[in-house]
Amino acid sequence: MKVIVNVKLKNGVLDPQGKAVKHALNSLGFDEVGNVRIGKQIVLDIAGDDKEKIKADTQKMCEELLANPVIEDFEIIL
């Protein structure tokens, strides 16, 4: 089963990478671009088809490795 995990910085956490991209886009003439936030999208192939179990396991993977709970939020899409 294909599982998508989107990891992004929590609101209020400074995103220097996003700021850099914003300034670059503005300097390329895309003045309409305001705030930019950059996160990770992780696509996992997970064996099995028990959605509840896979969601619970993916939650653990996020808490243990894929996301930093102090500064990041994550979203699991089955």
Residue 70 CB, nearest approach to a copy of itself (Å): 19
Taking CB under 8 A as the criterion, the residue among 12, 16, 52, 64 binding a copy of itself is 64
- Residue 32 touches a copy of itself, criterion: CB under 8 A: yes
48's torsion region: left (phi>0), alpha (psi -120 to 50) or beta? left
Number of residues this chain uses to bind a copy of itself (CB under 8 A): 32
- How far is the CA of 22 from the CAs of 11, 35, 39, 40, in angstroms? 17, 7, 14, 17
Rounded Cα–Cα distance for residues 57 and 54 (Å): 5
Residues in touch with a copy of itself (CB under 8 A): 6, 8, 18, 21, 24-25, 28, 30, 32-48, 54, 57, 60-61, 64-66
